[in-house]
Amino acid sequence: MTIASFDQVEFGDELPSFTPDTGLENVRRFAKAAQMMAKRFTDHEGARKEGLPGAMVPGVMSQAILTAMIHRWAPEAALVKIDTIFRAPVMVDEAHEVNGVVTDLDEETKTAEIDLTITNGAGETRVLGTATVRLP
């Protein structure tokens, strides 16, 4: 179900979760589009040489994935703010789940606050944050 207006949203509502494509080829496409072709994003061996366990998803790609989730849930929503805390790398070629849940509503401004998380297969929170969205 997609959300068309503020009146349809309730505290505690969960946004439809999904598993983003964080495979190496897709991450390379994003890195190329964003002109950030660093080996830590595009090459596992290159990332290991930099001391990482493997290639990681760029932070701005994680933010884009989270934002895309919000817009799939509420296509008419205006993203007022997105604020993320990167607790641990989102590793390329590992499965992750993206979740959002409504944790505050302001009827006066018709805005909703959403908790955002990206968790890996072990259930570890790799990225967390909040977004504020304005709805019609």
Partner 1 sequence: MILDLHSHSIVSDDGRAKVPNYCQWIRKKDLPLDGFVLTEHRKFDFDSDYSALATEFDLTILKASEVETEYGHVLVFGVTRALTEAFDFSDIGLPLAKVLEESERHGAVAVPCHPGRTRVGMCAHVESLGIPAGVSIVEVFNGGSRGTEDDAARALAETQGYRGIGGSDAHIVSHIGRCATAFPGAIGTEAELVEALQAGEFEAKSWKSKSSESSS
Provide the binding-site residues for partner 1, judged by CB under 8 A. Answer: 11-12, 83, 85, 87-88, 101, 103-104, 113, 115-117, 122-125, 128-130
CB 114 within 8 A of CB 123: no
The maximal CA–CA distance of the chain, rounded, in angstroms, is: 52
Nearer to partner 1 among residue 92 and residue 112 (C-beta)? 112
Nearer to partner 1 among residue 15 and residue 31 (C-beta)? 15
DSSP letter assigned to residue 113: E
Nearer to partner 1 among residue 76 and residue 106 (C-beta)? 106
Report in angstroms how near the CB of residue 39 gets to partner 1 at its nearest.
Answer: 23
Nearer to partner 1 among residue 34 and residue 85 (C-beta)? 85
Q: How far apart are CA 4 and CA 92, in angstroms?
A: 34
Of 120, 121, 59, residue with least CA distance to 84: 59
Q: How far apart are CA 3 and CA 6, in angstroms?
A: 8
Kindly report the CA angle at 65 between 60 and 71, in degrees rounded to 5? 120
Report in angstroms how near the CB of residue 87 gets to partner 1 at its nearest.
Answer: 7
Report in angstroms how near the CB of residue 29 gets to partner 1 at its nearest.
Answer: 28
Report in angstroms how near the CB of residue 31 gets to partner 1 at its nearest.
Answer: 25
